[in-house]
Amino acid sequence: MIKNDSEAKLFRVAAGQGGYFTARQARLAGFSDSNHGFHLRSGNWIREWRGIYRLARFPLRDDAQYSLWGIWASDRQGKPLGAYSHETALSLFGLSDIQPAMLHMTVPRGYRRHGKIPEVLCLHHADVEARECEERNGYKVIRPFRTFIDLVRGQGVSPEFFRQAVRQALDRGYLTRAQYRELEQMPRVGRRFREMAGGES
């Protein structure tokens, strides 16, 4: 049961982020910094990373880890700056049988963090437009069209998985035939895309 207005505000924020929230978001909801320790000791909050907490009673979703690191890559106002990309984007869209060992995330050029980068993350630096992403529970995922471009440029995934992902993206409507032809003709991408896709059109 939510007891007061501050708890209600924090719950609304955390609910949209998989149960996670930042210290700044807690302050904006009405919790002073001096009270954070109390909520940790009482078991109301769980500290997941420096400045990032989780509501202990909020049910963990299957995509909890993506929400956590999506918040880690947010700006001071809580806007997600990073977007899951490359092999991780394929996995999140259920394309191919690939199981990346790390979470691939693309952050803006010039992105810097003062603290330690989590070992689970592999950061790529590039500019991504909002229309190229899908919003989820406190994190963003780059859509398949842009993901295929990134994978061709990075050459980090095997042609077998790439062909499987392209075929499934076409079958499920994540990639249209027009977009496929656009990828085939794209400068500095098209030739390699045709080789890796194996003529799925």
Domain parsing of the chain, residue ranges: 5-55, 64-197
pTM of the model: 0.91
Q: What is the pLDDT of residue 2?
A: 47
The helix (H) or strand (E) run that includes residue 98 is: none
Residue 201 predicted with pLDDT over 70: no
Q: What is the pLDDT of residue 94?
A: 96
Q: Work out the pLDDT band at 200, boundaries 50, 70, 90.
A: low
Q: Across the chain, what does the average pLDDT equal?
A: 92
Phi first, then psi, for residue 184 (nearest 5°) are -60, -35
Residue 83 predicted with pLDDT over 60: yes
The pLDDT tens digits for 138-174 are: 899 999 999 999 999 997 789 999 999 999 999 999 9
- Helix, strand or coil, per DSSP, at residue 125: strand
Residue 10 predicted with pLDDT over 90: yes
Burial (CB count within 10 angstroms: exposed 0-12, middle 13-18, buried 19+), residue 23: middle
Are 180 and 165 a contacting pair, CB within 8 Å? no
Q: What is the pLDDT of residue 199?
A: 67
Q: What is the pLDDT of residue 1?
A: 41
Q: One-letter amino acid identity for 193?
A: F
Region 29-37: what's the mean pLDDT? 91
Q: One-letter amino acid identity for 173?
A: G
Q: One-letter amino acid identity for 87?
A: E
